[in-house]
């Protein structure tokens, strides 16, 4: 059985609450990602998506000042998962709630990683490739 810890991205690009909107936009573009967890002292306090930034900038024409800090637009009170959660349960959460990602945290809220739709697509691709080759990670085989 695969767990969230098996498929999550561990090298997560993050923001601080006081970081600027344009800094967040630049990180999203330069790393070609869609979600940025916001942390304070290593603990998750929010998340910002590419849509959040686009919406914030669109609501403030050039003649008006956009929100200055990520804390002004970030989503708080997030749905999170633990690394030992079965991957299937995380997939259900993503589908049922139409989330694009789930932050992965320890019990104290420390950010460990993030699991995204893309992580699950990579897993599915690998399993399909292995299945076609008759590999070890074919469905029904044990997790890595």
CATH code: domain of residue 121? 3.10.580.10
Write out the residue range of the structural domain in which residue 27 sits.
Answer: 4-133
Asked whether residue 27 carries a pLDDT value surpassing 50, the answer given is: yes
CB 81 within 8 A of CB 93: yes
Give the pTM. Answer: 0.83
Predicted pLDDT at 138: 46
Return d(Cα 1, Cα 143) in angstroms, integer: 5
Predicted pLDDT at 67: 66
Encode pLDDT of 69-78 as tens digits: 899 999 999 9
Return d(Cα 123, Cα 55) in angstroms, integer: 31
Encode pLDDT of 84-120 as tens digits: 999 999 999 999 999 999 999 999 999 999 999 999 9
Domain count, the chain: 1
Q: At a CB cut-off of 8 Å and minimum separation 6, what does 22 contact?
A: none
């Amino acid at each position: 059985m695969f767990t969230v810890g098996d498929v999550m991205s561990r090298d997560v690009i993050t923001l601080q609450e006081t970081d600027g909107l344009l800094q967040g936009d630049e990180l999203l573009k330069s790393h070609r990602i869609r979600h940025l967890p916001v942390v304070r002292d290593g603990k998750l306090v929010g998340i910002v998506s590419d849509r959040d930034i686009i919406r914030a900038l669109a609501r403030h024409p050039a003649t008006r000042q956009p929100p200055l800090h990520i804390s002004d637009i970030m989503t708080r009170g997030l749905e999170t998962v633990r690394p030992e959660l079965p991957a299937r349960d995380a997939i259900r959460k993503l589908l049922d709630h139409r989330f694009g990602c789930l932050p992965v945290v320890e019990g104290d809220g420390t950010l460990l990683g993030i699991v995204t739709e893309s992580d699950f697509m990579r897993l599915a691709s690998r399993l399909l490739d292995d299945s076609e080759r008759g590999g070890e990670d074919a469905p029904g085989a044990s997790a890595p």
